[in-house]
Amino acid sequence: MGLFDRFKKKPEADTPQWPQPPKADTMCLVLMDRVLEDIEPAAAHLKEVFGTEAVGALDRGHPIVSSFPFTIEGLEFWVSYLAMPVPPDTADIATAAKYALLLSEEEKAAFAGHRSFWMLAQKGGGTSLAEKRRACWVFSLLCAALMELEGTVGATPVNRGGLLVSRRHYLQQREMMEGKTWDNKDGFFPAPLWVWVYGTTSDGGKPVIQTQGLDDFGLPELGFFDPERPVNELLDLLYAMSCLQITERQLYRNMALVPLDEKTEAVCKQDGNILLFIGA
């Protein structure tokens, strides 16, 4: 039994509550450990990767902001470079770094000490779950290309979560995307680039490890309530389950029984916009 197959729930008669309309706009920040003198080398690199026609005219009309339009696979992006750290009211990078489960101490320090950033925006492309998946897939290709620039620290999607993805991890996910398309039949999606997994506590003080970011896709967040399994195993489970939801291979529902392995089934309980799995 494959990793994804373990999470296909038993048939149920209830009408699914999800997917709901996704967040149509998509944004992401790519952080740098230096201030760039000019954005021309970055634009030139994107032209090498995606073709000359992908990159529009450069706009250097602002003293600390330079930008250019970018078009790929029918989707238009706005790419802006800001020669300053990310403002705290946009994202508290230093605090997010402290709680990032997948970052090394060196990577946490690099995020906290970043000096400039790229802001990437795609407006209106995520009109359905399939189109949101497509927009984020293409977005990931653009971000990964920028990650190849010297001095790149990593990325953070602009959503309600605190996900930070290191350059190392981002390029690893990009390798996994190689040879696949956004509508691949393998049920693969680079969920770790868009979904944050973090630890918290319930109202009753019980530990919970859950996702943040699936809501942008119009999907319920997922979590394990009072789990006994190791954190690394729970991370793998939640990313695999998130991938199944985003690719529409599996939509979880309240009161479903979900097999975690050959001997264990977890009960799915809905709590607002999150589905908690009990019994891990």
Distance (Å, rounded) from C-alpha 16 to C-alpha 12? Answer: 9
- According to the model, what pLDDT value does residue 5 have? 53
C-alpha distances in Å from residue 264, one per residue of 8, 221, 257: 13, 21, 10
What pLDDT shows up at residue 272?
Answer: 86
pLDDT at 10: 46
Cβ contact 242:250 at 8 Å: no
C-beta separation of 217 from 19 below 8 A: yes
Sorted by sequence, the CB contacts under 8 Å of residue 128 that are 6+ apart come out as 21, 22
- Say what the pTM is: 0.89
pLDDT on residue 252:
86
Closest CA to 246 of 280, 268, 222: 222
- What is the model's pLDDT at position 98? 87
Contact predicate 4/249, CB 8 Å = yes
Question: Mean pLDDT per 10-residue run, the chain (280 residues)?
Answer: 49 60 96 96 97 95 90 95 93 90 93 97 95 97 97 91 93 96 92 92 84 94 90 91 93 82 83 86
Tell me the backbone φ, ψ of residue 86, rounded to 5 degrees: -65, 125
